[in-house]
Amino acid sequence: MMKQELDIYIRARYPLLWLVTPEEERALKEIEALAQDQRKRLLIWSATTGVINPATPARADATKRDPLALLATILDDTEACIWVLRDFHPFLKEPTVVRRLREVAFGLRASNKTVILLGAVLRIPPELEKEVTVIDFALPNAEQLNQALTAVIESTQRNGKIEIALDKRQRTRLVQACLGLTENEASDAIAKAIVQARGRLDGDAVEAVTAEKQQIIRKSGLLEFYASEERLTNVGGLDTLKDWLRKRVRAFSDEARAFGLPEPKGILLVGVQGCGKSLVAKAVANSWRLPLLRLDVGRLFSSLVGSSEENLRNAIKVAESIAPVVLWVDEIEKGFAGVGSSNISDAGTAARVFGSFITWLQEKKAPVFVIATANQVHHLPPELVRKGRFDEIFFVDLPATAERAEIWKIHLLRRNRDPGQFNVQALAMASDGLSGAEVEQAVIAGLYEAFDKNRPLTESDLLEVLHETVPLSQMMAEEIEELRSWARQRARLASGKIA
Ligand SMILES: Nc1ncnc2c1ncn2[C@@H]1O[C@H](COP(=O)(O)OP(=O)(O)OP(=O)(O)O)[C@@H](O)[C@H]1O
Ligand SMILES: [Mg+2]
């Protein structure tokens, strides 16, 4: 993938490419292969070694360790060549280096020379933004990870006896479990599993590697594997939405492709607080039997975890390599609220990151189903809700009476009470204006009453609680009206009834 993309850019004489990856060695191997295909000279620079030709690695030119000297050489050099600059970004703090690199970019435009900046970090100085083309290096696919697995087995065997007890199916599952990791991370995780099992590699390694992967992904700070037991049957009401989702249970199967169906891109759920938006997101992955990844948009923009652009790219890479997967972007407006406003410190970055997210939403090829949720529409950038970004935008309103009856049943059942023992219809009528979350809270409050009195839960406990409850919707009547009028023009109702 990357090799093809790189090949095109080099042939098209793009002078300055930035390849973002923590996997320097694997990327270098691919660049070497590419240079051979194109019969081009390849020179690799780093601040510690200077310039090296991988064909004659013993003869490093240490006189070019200085970045300015290096850039001068690149400009003067007349031969066709691919220059790879490892970890060059720290030097871009120097105004003279930035200026020189710009001159290189201009100077190389019509030449047969290409400069590739290779590193784990993406931080483009504004002066170079127009000159640099960013390329992503995808995480290893199943086939590459399978080779890595073979390599780990061979190297551990060389170091001592190990027992391999993997059948073909287990091996496939182990490789699948490694998806989303770099080659080194995968090799380390497998090696660790072998050591933990005292020199044995069997089906248990799948779990060990999965646990390790969850750790690694969480450490990246933005993504989290979300384990949830929720099912769509635990969601009361929202029939149109549930029906839409149910029809797509097999949407990521080969049969669906053969039938001529496109893969669904994703949905945006907008609506009133506590009415089940997050609940639906959690339930979908289970119903579709796909892993659920949660993206923390708030942290995407916090400067604590490095550069936002690189963070987003990394998160997308991980999600795509695990695909098919459900990517849950909860409270999306919180992250992208600053786009277009000038009162946040780095509006430029926010806009750029938002732009790449939108582009990805629209153009992504990997089967990543995005579920975004929002409850504050005036913070939603209009570009986000334009056609083509999501398959549908659903509006999740307060539940109507019949829907509340379902929600009562679900939550009574969840607390091991038989809904048949209660007049659910009466409860539904008495809870007008309550959200699903508030119905759940009422059940809990009623249980406390009964528990305190040392007797079973009765309907009157619940009715009493309702009597004392002021629904949030009463206090937020204005906000909810605003939401509804926004939704009337832009969204589809998640349940058939119009409130
Ligand atoms: N339609 C529903 N059916 C069953 N339970 C519900 C429903 N809506 C809400 N609940 C209960 O309320 C809890 C909170 O709902 P949820 O977190 O999904 O609300 P939300 O729409 O995401 O709200 P917010 O906008 O505040 O994030 C759920 O975990 C569930 O227990
Ligand atoms: Mg929520």
Q: Report the candidate in 120, 124, 123 with the shortest Cα–Cα distance to residue 105.
A: 124
When pLDDT is averaged across residues 218-222 and rounded to a whole number, the result is: 80
* H/E run at residue 82: strand 81-86
Distance (Å) from CA 357 to ligand 1 centroid: 26
277 ligand 1 Cβ < 6 A: yes
Closest CA relative to residue 17, chosen from 65, 89, 84, 103:
84
Residue nearest to atom 11 of ligand 1 (CA): 437
The pLDDT of residue 305: 54
Cα 235 to middle of ligand 2, angstroms: 14
DSSP 8-class letter at 398:
P
Give every CB contact of residue 144 below 8 A, 6+ residues apart in sequence: 183
CA 120 centroid distance within chain: 18
Residue 375 CA: which ligand 1 atom is closest?
25
Per-residue model confidence (pLDDT) at position 355: 87
Ligand 1: which atom is nearest the Cα of residue 438? 12
- pLDDT value, residue 159: 81
Tell me, in angstroms, the distance from the centre of ligand 2 to residue 345's CA: 27
The model's confidence at residue 160, banded by pLDDT at 50, 70 and 90, is confident
What burial letters (b/e) apply to 284-312, b meaning 16+ CB within 10 Å? bbbbbebbbbbbbbeebbeeeebbbbbbb
DSSP state of 61: B
Q: Token pair for residue 294?
A: 């949660």
Give 1's pLDDT tier (boundaries 50, 70, 90).
Answer: low
**Residue 239 confidence (pLDDT):** 96
- Residue 181's pLDDT is 92
Given a cut of 60, whether residue 493 has pLDDT beyond it is: yes
Closest ligand 1 atom number to CA of residue 437: 12
Token pair 């839409």 is found at 244
Q: Following CA atoms 174, 178, 179, 183 in sequence, which dihedral angle do they give, to the nearest 10 degrees?
A: -130
Amino acid at 197: A
Distance 277 CA to ligand 1 centre (A): 6
Task: State the DSSP H helix or E strand holding residue 270, giving kind and residue range, or none if neither.
Answer: strand 266-271
CB-CB contact of 326 with 366 (8 Å) = no
Strands 292-295 and 223-225: antiparallel
What does DSSP assign to residue 263?
A: P
251-267 pLDDT per residue, tens? 998 899 999 999 999 99
Query: Per-domain residue ranges for the chain?
Result: 2-136, 142-219, 232-396, 401-432+436-470
Distance CA 193, CA 174 (A): 11
Ligand 1: does its nearest atom lie under 6 Å from the Cβ of 375?
Answer: yes
**Count of alpha carbons within 13 Å of 416, Cβ hemisphere only?**
1
Helix (H) or strand (E) holding 224: strand 223-225
H runs (alpha helix) in 197-296: 204-219, 239-246, 254-258, 277-288
**Tokens read off for 198:** 């005292």
Counting ligands in written order, which one lies closest to the CA of residue 377?
Answer: 1
Superfamily designation of domain 2-136: P-loop containing nucleotide triphosphate hydrolases (3.40.50.300)
In this structure, the number of other CB atoms found within 10 A of the CB of residue 209 comes to 24
| 209 CA → ligand 2 middle, Å | 30
Answer yes or no: pTM beyond 0.75: yes
On whether the CB atoms of residues 320 and 326 are closer than 8 A, the answer is no
- Testing ligand 1's pocket by substitution, the residue of 270, 278, 403 carrying the most ligand atoms inside 8 A of its CB is 278
Hunting for tokens 């086939």 — which residue is that? 143
CATH number of this structure's domain 401-432+436-470: 1.10.8.60
For ligand 1, say whether the CB of 377 is within 6 Å of any of its atoms.
Answer: no
Strand 492-493's sheet: what is its strand order? Answer: 223-225, 292-295, 325-329, 368-374, 266-271, 392-396, 492-493
* Residue 499 confidence (pLDDT) above 60: no
- Yes or no: say if 284 and 245 are a contact pair by the CB < 8 Å rule: yes
Letter for the amino acid at 35?
A
Whether residue 162 has pLDDT greater than 90: no
Q: Tokens 């430029």 identify what position? A: 348
So what's the pLDDT on residue 338?
62
Compute the distance between CA of residue 311 and CA of residue 333 in angstroms, rounded to an integer. Answer: 18
CB of 313 closer than 8 Å to CB of 20: yes
pLDDT value of position 233: 94
The response to whether residue 436 sits with its C-beta less than 6 Å from ligand 1 reads yes
Average pLDDT, the chain: 90
Residue with tokens 């759940």: 440
Q: Is 273 in the pocket of ligand 1 (CB under 6 A)?
A: yes
pLDDT score of 353 more than 90: no
- For residue 424, the one-letter residue type is V
User: Which atom of ligand 1 is closest in space to residue 235's alpha carbon?
Assistant: 3
For residue 414, give the ligand 1 atom closest to its CA: 31
For residue range 373-384, what is the model confidence (pLDDT) as tens digits? 998 888 888 888
The yes-or-no verdict on residue 149 having pLDDT over 90 is yes
How is domain 232-396 classified at the CATH fold level?
Rossmann fold (3.40.50)
Q: Is the CB of 237 under 6 A from ligand 1?
A: yes
Q: What is the pLDDT of residues 294-331, one digit of tens each?
A: 998 888 776 655 677 888 888 898 999 888 999 999 99
pLDDT digits (tens, 9 = 90+) for 291-304: 999 998 888 776 65
User: In terms of CATH architecture, what is 142-219?
Assistant: Orthogonal Bundle (1.10)
d(CA 36, CA 45): 18
Asked whether this chain's domains 232-396 and 401-432+436-470 adopt the same fold, the reply is no
399 and 407 in contact (C-beta within 8 Å)? yes
Please list, residue by residue across 41-69, b when 16 or more beta carbons sit within 10 angstroms of its beta carbon and e when fewer do: bbbbbbeeebbbeeeeeeebeeebbebee
Phi, psi for 165 (deg, rounded to 5):
-130, 55
Which tokens sit at 469? 């409850």
Strands 325-329 and 368-374, sheet pairing: parallel
The least confident of 64-68, 217-221, 321-325, 361-365 is 217-221
* Cβ-based neighbours of 335, under 8 Å, separated by 6 or more: 297, 298, 300, 301, 329
Q: Whose CA is nearest to atom 10 of ligand 1?
A: 436
Residues above pLDDT 70, as percent of the chain:
96
* Amino acid sitting at position 89: H
Q: Does ligand 1 lie within 6 Å of residue 108's CB atom?
A: no
Is the CB of 235 within 6 Å of ligand 1? yes
23-71 pLDDT, tens digit each: 999 999 999 999 999 999 999 999 999 999 988 888 888 888 999 999 9
- Nearest-5° angle of CA 150, CA 151, CA 153? 65
| SS3 state at 321 | helix
